[in-house]
């Protein structure tokens, strides 16, 4: 090891001892690692700038993320069609909600009656908090999501199923 490397290692050791001593004595706390403020790289984004039809299956409060599975419409059956998990993407995904998402209910999220447009998309405005409360209770919701360019869900439109 060079003298320069030894001095650098000694400096790190002394800084660690000083931080530990201050923390143990009630002095200023030093974070273990600086928080990462860097946004995810484009290769890490899963659904940027897309619309996704999904079965919302829960909310991870610790991470602030909606859990969902991608679904697709299958023709036939009693209601002339139904939704099933997409066979090409069977994973359960998690994405964060935008700070102020648009949330529209068809019935489950915040409506007491069916409120849909001509496509069957919910059109009664709800709050972010109402969405989180429903998902936190374990209620599953079929919805069309819009994901923004930073992989945050910025629109949730509940889909009505008779």
Q: What is the pLDDT of residues 48-60, one digit of tens each?
A: 999 999 999 999 9
pLDDT over 70 at 93, yes or no: yes
pLDDT over 80 at 130, yes or no: yes
Per the structure, the count of domains in the chain is 2
What pTM value is reported for the model? 0.72
Same domain, 22 and 95: no
Same domain, 7 and 52: no
pLDDT over 50 at 137, yes or no: yes
Same domain, 23 and 85: no
Q: What is the CA radius of gyration of the chain?
A: 23
Same domain, 53 and 110: yes
> Three-state SS for 6?
helix
The verdict on residue 41 lying in a domain is no
Q: Which of 159, 153, 160 is nearest to 60 (CA)?
A: 153
- Six token digits for residue 93: 């995904």
Same domain, 102 and 153: yes
- Residue 51 · residue 145 · CB < 8 Å: yes
H or E segment to which residue 126 belongs: strand 124-126
What's the domain range around 20? Answer: 1-34
């Amino acid at each position: 090891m060079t003298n320069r490397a030894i001095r650098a290692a000694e400096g790190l050791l002394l800084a660690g001892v000083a931080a530990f001593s201050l923390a143990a004595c009630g002095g200023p706390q030093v974070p273990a690692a600086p928080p990462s403020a860097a946004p995810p790289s484009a290769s890490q984004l899963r659904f940027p700038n897309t619309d996704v039809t999904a079965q919302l299956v829960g909310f991870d409060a610790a991470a602030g993320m909606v859990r969902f599975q991608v679904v697709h419409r299958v023709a036939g059956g009693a209601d002339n069609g139904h939704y099933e998990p997409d066979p090409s993407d069977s994973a359960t995904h998690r994405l964060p909600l935008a700070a102020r998402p648009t949330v529209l209910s068809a019935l489950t999220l915040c409506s007491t009656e069916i409120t849909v447009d001509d496509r069957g998309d919910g059109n009664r405005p709800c709050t972010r908090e109402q969405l989180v409360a429903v998902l936190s209770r374990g209620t599953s919701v079929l919805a069309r999501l819009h994901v923004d360019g930073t992989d945050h869900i910025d629109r949730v439109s509940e889909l009505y199923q008779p």
